[in-house]
Amino acid sequence: MTAHRAKVLPLGGDGAMSDGLPFQAGKFLIIAGIVLVVLGLLLMVVAKFSFLGLGRLPGDIAYKGKNVTFYFPIVTCLVLSVVLTLVFWLVSFLTKR
């Protein structure tokens, strides 16, 4: 059996450690941008069709004054939280090996 030695990378500016970092950061930014565009489009569709009354459930707080409007969809947040928790739990449960 042979012993493996860890390769010590210099902390200097020779680029040995950061060659892949800009590429990885670029990939991350592109994927994050695509995800944000998809979420934005989804929000626009949901706002247009407003399925299941999300955003207008009983218990959502809405205050309209003379010069100010305050809206906080607390019940909608709770419903979405429960639904997303169940979806992620199901995905996690089904992908266990």
Please indicate, yes or no, whether residues 58 and 44 belong to a single structural domain of this protein: no
Please indicate, yes or no, whether residues 74 and 93 belong to a single structural domain of this protein: yes
Number of domains in the chain: 2
Asked if residue 76 belongs to a domain, the reply is yes
Asked if residue 94 belongs to a domain, the reply is yes
Asked if residue 8 belongs to a domain, the reply is no
Residue 76 contacts by C-beta under 8 Å, 6 or more apart in sequence? Answer: 54, 55, 57, 60
Q: Does residue 4 have a pLDDT over 70?
A: no
- Please tell me whether the overall predicted TM-score, pTM, comes out greater than 0.95 for this model: no
The 10s digit of each residue's pLDDT in 7-55 is 665 555 554 445 678 888 889 899 999 999 998 888 888 777 766 666 7
Q: Report pLDDT for 62.
A: 87
Please indicate, yes or no, whether residues 66 and 36 belong to a single structural domain of this protein: no
Please indicate, yes or no, whether residues 78 and 42 belong to a single structural domain of this protein: no
Give the domain extent around 66.
Answer: 54-97
